[in-house]
Amino acid sequence: MGGLPKPRVAILGTGRMGSAAARRLSALGFPLTLWNRTREKAQALAEEIGAAVARSPVEAVSQAEIAAAYLADDDALFSVLAGIRRMDGLVFVNMGTNTPRAVSNAKNYVTGNGGCYVEAPIVAGPRVLQRGEAVLIVAGEKTCIAQASPLLEALSSHTVYVGEEPERAQALKLSFNLLLITTVNSLSEALALAESYGIGKDVVKELLSHTVFRGIAEKYVDRATSDPAKPASFPLRLAAKDLYYAVSSAFDRGLPLEGVATVMEKYLRAVREGLGEADYTRIYWLDRKEKEAQETSKQG
C-alpha cells in the first residue's frame, strides 16, 4: 500500500466486526465515514478513532470510494442498500454473513445502480480482524476486486478467491460456519457426557490434547465453559442465524443437511432460553440448564 493516498471508506454497521475493521483502517490512515442504525455507537467510535459520522447510509457513501458493510443479516443488508440509489464510482464490499440468494440480489441491486460489487465474508473474529489477520473468502469481478484491494489487503492475511458470483463466497462461508458451530456443539456434548460421570473438563482437555482434536481443545474447552455473562466475541443469536442460513441455502439446492438442522434447532432454542447474547460456544450452558431442569423435575 506504500505511500499512496488511501481511499475514503464508508463503514456501514459499527457492531463488533464493523468497529474492529474501522479501528484497523483508522490505524493505517484510511479516511473513514461511519454509519450505524443506532447512531450513538457510531458517534462514540468516531470520537475514539477520529472519523466522520453520517446520518444515513446514502450520506456515508456519498464521498466514499469504498463502502464496507458489516450488518447482522439479510434484512439489515437490504434495509441499508434500499436507502442508497446511486452508486457510480463506488465499490460495495459486503463482509457480513448472508444467504447466497440475498447476496445475489444485492449484487444485482448495486450493479443496477452503477456500482461495483464484491463479496468478502470474514473467517475470523473481531480481534483477528482488528489485527488485519483475517481470512477472507472473496468473489467478484477482477476490476471490482482491484478497486476494493486497499480495504481487503488492510484487513486480511489470506484471501480465498471463489470466482465472480457472490453466492459462492457465502456458500463457502456458511459451509465453514456449519462445520465450526456443529464442532463446538459436539465438544459441548462430549464435555456434558464426561461430566455426568464425574470427569472434569481438564481431564477431557488432557485427553483431547493428545489427539487430532488438540487445536479444538486448546481454543474452545475453556471458552465454552466460562461464564455465559462474559462478553461475546460471536453472539449465539448470529450462530443460530448462520445455521438457519446454511440449512435454508442447502434446501434451495435439494440437500437436507439433517445433522445441521438438529443443531440449528438447539441453537434457536438457546436463543429462546435467553442465551442469544452469550458467546456461541456457551451452547454448553444449555445442556447444563436442561440437565438441571430434568433433575429438579425428577425430585419434584
Which residues in this chain contact ligand NAP in the complex, by CB under 6 A? 13-18, 36-38, 41, 70-72, 75-76, 79-80, 96-97, 122, 125-126, 233-234, 238, 242
Smallest gap from residue 144 Cβ to ligand NAP (A): 20
Residue type, 47: E
Tell me the residue ranges of DSSP E strands in the chain.
9-12, 32-35, 52-53, 66-69, 91-94, 116-119, 122-123, 134-140, 156-161
Q: Which three cell numbers stand for residue 103?
A: 447476496
- Which CB sits closer to ligand NAP, 109 or 208? 109
d(CA 283, CA 265): 12
Query: CB of 46: closest distance to ligand NAP in angstroms?
Result: 14
Query: In whole angstroms, how close is the CB of 299 to ligand NAP at the nearest point?
Result: 39
Q: Which C-beta is closer to ligand NAP: that of 14 or that of 182? A: 14
Nearer to ligand NAP, 208 or 243 (CB): 243
The DSSP 8-state label assigned to residue 226 in this structure reads: S
CB of 274 to ligand NAP, least distance (A): 17
Strand partners, 35: 12
C-beta separation of 6 from 30 below 8 A: yes
Helix (H) or strand (E) holding 143: helix 142-155
Residue least distant from ligand NAP (Cβ)? 15
In contact, 13 and 94? CB cutoff 8 Å: no
Q: Which is nearer to ligand NAP, 36 or 156 (CB)?
A: 36
- For residue 281, the 8-state DSSP code is G
Instruction: Name which of 14 and 147 has its Cβ closer to ligand NAP.
Output: 14
**CB 18 within 8 Å of CB 42:** no
**Bridge partners of 138?**
161
Q: Which is nearer to ligand NAP, 99 or 147 (CB)?
A: 99
The least distance separating ligand NAP from the CB of residue 42, rounded to whole angstroms, comes to: 8
CB of 2 to ligand NAP, least distance (A): 29
Smallest gap from Cβ 212 to ligand NAP, in A, equals 25
3-state secondary structure of 9: strand
Q: Which is nearer to ligand NAP, 234 or 267 (CB)?
A: 234
CB 283 within 8 A of CB 266: yes
HSE-CB of 113 using CA atoms within 13 angstroms? 17
Query: Shortest Cβ distance from residue 97 to ligand NAP (Å)?
Result: 4
Asked whether 181 and 235 are in contact (CB, 8 A), the reply is no
Nearer to ligand NAP, 77 or 217 (CB): 77
